[in-house]
């Protein structure tokens, strides 16, 4: 760097050196003037005055020239230093750029290495996940194989126990999830309470500080006088207020005790109703059924009375009351049926079981609430404030909206065999032949395995049971009648999660399925949409007459658009040719209806009445906003059956 600076010295410095040399030369080579001679002479003659004057004159010129030369040198040096400083800065900037570029390159390299490391980790994680999935699949396959082997050798009693156990496990899991949700709600409520308490405490603290500041600004004498005066007044007022507070607290405690007693009463009544409905599900004797239904009817009246005395909001009260009243009406209807000498059908038993399930959940929630009752929450509930107990009663009200599948049945569903059993005269087939029929009837499902699991014997028929699995490992169940080899029942154990097909399309798919079974003379009489599954009920139709004993129920998955359930037992045991001659005309039967009814539709129908078939006129009617189905005997003109049609989110149902 020093060499470079030396080479770059400006011409000013050179000029200074040149001037200095020139001056020296002039001093040496200059001719001796008179003055010089005089000076020399004077010097030789030792004349100090002349010598002093000459020396002074030369010194001034020299100094002037030297000062000018010094200035030029200083200027040149400053310029050189400035240039050198600029060069140094440039070199430093260049070095910094090089270092920055090297750091950036190192950073990029480190980032690439990090990305490569993460990619390798993700790839390894994917491989491990796939391996875990494969292991789980292998485990599930082994479990399924073991289950299939177990099902092959499973007896009917073992099957019933297994189904009951699996149902119990599902209920326990559902209860566990509900408890987790409830705990989360409780935690949120406690957090809100803590936040409110902190807010109130902060507000109180600020208010006390403000009061203290105001008090500190007042004079002591005036403050003391005010305190004494106020104390006397407050003492008298406190006496009155304290007495009133004691009275109010006593009333509050009495009110809370009354509501708490009502809550315990609701728990007791719902427990008794759960016990009676549970027994009703498995009871077969008419006398025992009559006693249980009477107890259920009494329980619903007691529950309704208790519900009127509990401070729940109007919507919740309406929801729970609706369920209680519906249960009471159903118990009353079954009692009337038993009084008329008619047995409770299998479908009605399933409906009673559905009501039991809802009441069981209601009892569980009420019992949990009463067992873990928080005094503060209950006080808020009694005072009409929103809180945990109000929220839980709201959840109970929503829970009672659930409907059993059988509540949405078509008219006269589940009556079973009416008259002569049409399967009894058909020849019997073997289990091997029945297995071939399964593959024939359900060929579109491409079953991978078809396993025979035993026989089912009921009052209507004896059937061979089969479990099947398709290529996607979905499980199916089918029953083939021993007499005639007909498909009596079919069910698929798969979920439907999306709504891709409407009811009209599902109706078309169901009819095509029935046509492949050789059943074409049917008419859709009842349609409902249960979530993502279409429930369609068909009745045989001959010469314009609906034969309700010949019912077929079909379930179609609205996600995949294929049949996932069939129950043709009613059609198989009842369908045959009949005499449909009527003694009354439709107009004559219509004239026998109540004057307030507006007829919106009519047709002839064959219905089961007291264990035999009766030809009727079926009238769809309206009375204001309400809808009814009325059946008039086509021979005697008597009103033999009346249904009220209800609408819900899942479709229509009858009461």
pLDDT higher for 254 or 397?
Answer: 397
Q: Which helix (H) or strand (E) holds 627?
A: strand 626-633
State the average pLDDT over residues 460-470. 91
Range of the domain at 648: 580-655
Nearest to 349 by CA among 266, 265, 289, 424: 289
Classify residue 248: in a domain, yes or no.
no
**Structure tokens of 117?**
């490391």
Degrees, nearest 5: CA angle 81-87-92: 125
Task: Map tokens 């390798």 to a residue.
Answer: 120
Nearest to 506 by CA among 478, 490, 530: 530
* Residue 511, CB-side half-sphere exposure with 13 Å CA sphere: 14
Cα 227 to the chain's mean position, in Å? 61
Residues 574 and 609 in one domain: no
pLDDT of 403-422, one tens digit each? 444 444 567 776 677 778 88
> In angstroms, how far apart are the furthest CA atoms of the chain?
184
Radius of gyration of the chain (CA): 52
Residues 636 and 547 in one domain: no
- For residue 33, the model assigns a pLDDT of 43
| pLDDT band, very low/low/confident/very high, at 481 (cuts 50, 70, 90) | very high
- For residue 38, the model assigns a pLDDT of 45
Classify residue 222: in a domain, yes or no.
no
pLDDT of 488 above 80: yes
Classify residue 227: in a domain, yes or no.
no
Provide the mean pLDDT of the chain: 77
Q: What is the CATH number of the domain that holds 601?
A: 3.10.450
| pLDDT band, very low/low/confident/very high, at 47 (cuts 50, 70, 90) | very low
Residue that finishes a domain, picked among 547, 578, 609: 578
Residue that finishes a domain, picked among 578, 594, 627: 578
Residues 425 and 557 in one domain: yes
486 in helix, strand or coil? coil
pLDDT higher for 50 or 289?
Answer: 289
pLDDT of 642 above 50: yes
Positive or negative torsion for Cα 437, 438, 441, 443: negative
Classify residue 410: in a domain, yes or no.
no
Q: How far, in Å, are 272, 299, 330, 471, 644 from residue 368 at the CA level?
A: 16, 20, 27, 45, 36
pLDDT higher for 546 or 352?
Answer: 546
Residues 544 and 444 in one domain: yes
pLDDT of 20-30, one tens digit each? 555 555 444 44
- For residue 655, the model assigns a pLDDT of 60
pLDDT higher for 497 or 449?
Answer: 449
Domain count along the chain: 5
pLDDT higher for 249 or 555?
Answer: 555
d(CA 65, CA 10): 20
pLDDT higher for 388 or 139?
Answer: 139
Classify residue 223: in a domain, yes or no.
no
State the average pLDDT over residues 237-251. 49
Residues 504 and 571 in one domain: yes
| pLDDT band, very low/low/confident/very high, at 300 (cuts 50, 70, 90) | confident
pLDDT higher for 43 or 318?
Answer: 318
Residues 80 and 199 in one domain: no
Residues 457 and 514 in one domain: yes
Given a contact cutoff of 8 angstroms between Cβ atoms, the answer to whether 369 and 347 are in contact is no
- For residue 465, the model assigns a pLDDT of 94
- For residue 262, the model assigns a pLDDT of 74
Residues 433 and 526 in one domain: yes
Beta strand 487-493 with 612-623 is unpaired
pLDDT of 537 above 80: yes
Classify residue 434: in a domain, yes or no.
yes
Nearest to 629 by CA among 592, 648, 609, 655: 655
Residue that finishes a domain, picked among 402, 434, 464: 402
| pLDDT band, very low/low/confident/very high, at 651 (cuts 50, 70, 90) | low
pLDDT higher for 101 or 47?
Answer: 101
Residues 476 and 488 in one domain: yes
d(CA 409, CA 566): 14
Nearest to 522 by CA among 531, 512, 535: 512
Q: In sequence order, which residues have a C-beta less than 8 Å from that of residue 386 and are 6 or more positions away?
A: 380
- For residue 436, the model assigns a pLDDT of 93
């Amino acid at each position: 760097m020093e060499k470079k600076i030396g080479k770059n010295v400006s011409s000013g410095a050179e000029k200074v050196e040149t001037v200095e040399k020139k001056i020296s030369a002039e001093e040496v080579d200059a001719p001796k003037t008179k003055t010089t001679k005089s000076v020399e002479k004077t010097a030789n003659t030792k004349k100090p005055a002349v010598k002093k004057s000459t020396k002074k004159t030369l010194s001034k010129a020299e100094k002037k020239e030297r000062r000018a030369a010094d200035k030029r040198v200083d200027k040149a040096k400053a310029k050189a230093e400035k240039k050198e400083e600029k060069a140094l800065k440039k070199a430093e900037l260049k070095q910094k750029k090089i270092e920055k570029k090297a750091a950036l390159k190192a950073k990029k390299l480190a980032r690439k290495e990090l990305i490569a490391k993460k990619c390798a980790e993700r790839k390894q994680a994917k491989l491990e996940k796939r391996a875990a999935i494969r292991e789980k699949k292998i485990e599930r396959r082994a479990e399924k194989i073991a289950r299939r082997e177990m099902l092959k050798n499973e007896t009917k009693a073992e099957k019933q126990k297994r189904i009951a156990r699996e149902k119990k496990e599902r209920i326990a899991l559902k209860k566990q999830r509900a408890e987790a949700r409830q705990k989360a709600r409780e935690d949120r409520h406690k957090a809100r309470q803590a936040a409110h308490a902190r807010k109130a405490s902060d507000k109180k603290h600020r208010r006390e500080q403000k009061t203290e500041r105001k008090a500190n600004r007042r004079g002591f004498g005036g403050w003391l006088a005010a305190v004494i005066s106020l104390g006397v007044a407050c003492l008298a007022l406190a006496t009155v207020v304290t007495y009133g507070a004691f009275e109010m607290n006593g009333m509050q405690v009495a009110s809370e005790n009354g509501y708490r007693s009502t809550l315990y009463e609701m728990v007791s009544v719902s427990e008794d109703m759960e016990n009676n409905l549970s027994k009703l599900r498995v009871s077969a004797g008419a006398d025992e059924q009559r006693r249980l239904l009477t107890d259920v009817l009494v329980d619903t009246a007691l529950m309704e009375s208790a519900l009127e005395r509990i401070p729940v909001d109007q919507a919740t009260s309406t929801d729970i009351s609706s369920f209680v009243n519906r249960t009471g009406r159903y118990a009353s209807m079954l009692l009337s049926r038993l009084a008329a000498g008619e047995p409770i059908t299998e479908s009605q038993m399933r409906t009673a079981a559905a009501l039991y399930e809802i009441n069981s959940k209601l009892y569980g929630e009420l019992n949990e609430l009463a067992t873990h009752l928080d005094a503060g929450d209950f006080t808020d509930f009694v005072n009409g404030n929103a809180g945990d107990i109000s929220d839980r009663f709201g959840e109970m009200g929503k829970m009672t909206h659930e409907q059993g599948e059988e509540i949405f049945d078509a008219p006269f569903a589940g009556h079973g065999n009416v008259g002569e059993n049409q399967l009894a005269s058909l020849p019997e087939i073997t289990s091997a032949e029945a297995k071939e029929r399964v593959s024939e009837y359900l060929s579109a499902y491409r079953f991978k395995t078809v396993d025979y699991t035993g026989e089912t014997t009921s009052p209507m028929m004896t059937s061979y049971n089969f479990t099947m699995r398709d290529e996607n490992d979905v499980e199916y169940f089918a029953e083939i009648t021993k007499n005639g080899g007909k498909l009596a029942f079919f069910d698929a154990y798969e979920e439907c999660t999306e709504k891709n097909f409407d009811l009209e399309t599902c109706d078309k798919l169901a009819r095509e399925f029935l046509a492949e079974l050789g059943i074409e003379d049917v008419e859709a009489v009842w349609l409902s949409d249960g979530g993502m599954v279409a429930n369609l009920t068909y009745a045989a139709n001959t010469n314009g007459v609906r034969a309700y004993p010949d019912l077929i129920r079909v379930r179609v998955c609205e996600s995949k658009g294929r049949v996932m359930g069939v129950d043709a037992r009613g059609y198989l045991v009842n369908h045959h040719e009949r005499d449909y001659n009527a003694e009354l005309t439709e107009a004559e039967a219509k004239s026998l209806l109540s004057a307030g009814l507006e007829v919106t539709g009519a047709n002839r129908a064959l219905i089961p009445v007291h264990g035999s078939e009766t030809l009727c006129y079926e009238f769809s009617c309206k009375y204001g906003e309400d809808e009814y189905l009325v059946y008039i005997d086509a021979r005697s003109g008597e009103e033999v059956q009346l249904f009220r049609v209800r609408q819900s989110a899942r479709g229509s149902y009858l009461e």
